[in-house]
A and B are shown apart, each in its own frame.
Chain A
Amino acid sequence: MLERLKDACRKLTARFSKRRREREAAKKDVPFFPEFATFELVIMLIAMVVVVLIAVFWPGVAGPAADPAGDFEPTAFLEFALDELPDWITAVGLGGSIGFVILLFFIPRLDPGKTRSKTARRIVVLSAAVFLVGWLGIYGAYGYFAIPHGSNNTPGGEWTMCWHCHSHWGGPGDPLDISRHGEVIDENCMTCHLDDPKLVEFYLCDEGLFRESHQCSHCHNPHAPVPHEVTPGETRMERMAVGGETYVFPYTPRNGETHPSLPMRTCYACHEFDTASGGAAEVAESSPATTLVGEHPPLDGRACLDCHATYDGAAVGVARCIFSEADGDVHALPGARGSDCASCHEITTTYER
């Protein structure tokens, strides 16, 4: 028993002295090769792996080509700064940056002594901290916010005029007042998109189709590289991720135009697929004109005709043949009605093909 105890004590002291030896060794010089070189190489390899991992998770997107001839809208931070800020601020900013770089060259001259006093040390740490916080702040803000509409070719994006779309200043704690006004209100979209009468009709008129219930930003993510496209992980996109990939707009607006390129899954974000439960039924009740919501409900007999009144070209779906083989019942002529639409028409749309 005593022997065992002694043995354990010996092992314990050996372990401690090994640690002490290691600590002592850490205080000594080591030769560059291989001791230090290995240490540096391991750190370099870790850095490489980190970069590859980041690139795997945030690979970026390829956006559309620039359109120099198009409206020169102030979409980027740089442009905003140069266009909207007074010239003297631009000049001060530019002069300040150039001055800072010149100052950098002279740092050895400005601090020539071999040692540093306590005050000098404080000044050094303080100025380094101010520089780092300022630089990282600008860099972070620049990288965090994507430019609306198409300029976001590379991952990250640019700081832009958030408040042009988000509208509200909620104080320093909540600069965009996301909690109340985070959603981009349609009027803000319209400040740029007023040129499109169709959009005005859809969204802005008092009796517009979606005046009450839908907002542009429910479906369109202004931060996505192409407004109607979706980028995984982007704000609105998670909501869209539920459904399929296909583009369809199952409503038939009053003027007969179909909405361009809206992913079907956008609708699922709010509307339940199953018409019997919740969402779809509610919508059907509140807006009878738009009974087809969520994924296409199972077709039964002539149910399609509730929404797609006639074969008039605007109807969605692909006819396999114009002469129906089902039930011997045909509608070879526009306006004629078959008894089972689904026997000829796929439950898809032209966009889905």
Chain B
Amino acid sequence: MTSLVTDTRTVFSRELRPTLRSPFTMIIAMVQPLVFLGLFAPLLPGDRSAALQWFVPGIIVMSCLFSASMTGSNLLFEIQTGSHERMLVTPLRRPALLIGRALKEIVPMVAQAALIVLVCLPFGYRFHLGGALLGLVVMAGFSIGVGALSYTLALASKNQEWLFWTVQQTVLFPILLLAGVLLPLDGGPGWLRTLAAWNPLRYVVDAERALFDGDIWQATTVTGLVAAAGVAAFGLFVGVRAMRTST
């Protein structure tokens, strides 16, 4: 008998298989944030290890956001060829189609996070393992939501790929900047901070910073979890609806 879990596993392992068969693309994807980190971190003011302490969780969240938002891009091609349609006719549970695909984008992300942390250790970066693991759970929830939204976007832009890329790129950067990933929001004007207050990613980033530092019993952890769960629920709801009504 199948369940949501086995269905998700079926989708997930199908998606992951080609990636595992060509690890080269995964290696490229892993190196990207390192390059970013290497070029950006030296620009941060103040004490280097304090800067890393602030910056590393942000970079991990960023690469997680990027990966998850790519969920729909693989789908675009499968919609055209007919293999997506073939999966839709199977009894696979609709949320499993969304979650399985989103999780596949996150697996390289976990490896990425580990690599970033390892590379930063010699430069004085310190992290808390338990906190970081809980942080990964928060990010996974968030990514499932973003992945499902990316999936929905792909469904909406079938036969017009430019739409997918335009929306994806246009939405990604404001979300990133309004979350205080690259630069702190504290010094920003009031309107900017108001906008940021509505950005769920912002709560995820705040939670990750505290968690990676080992401050687990914090309000930020709760708000981060709530924000991630909210995005996941919203994404799955929208995604399942889109699958039902998409022609």
- Mutual binders A and B: no
Q: Which A residues contact B (CB, under 8 angstroms)?
A: none
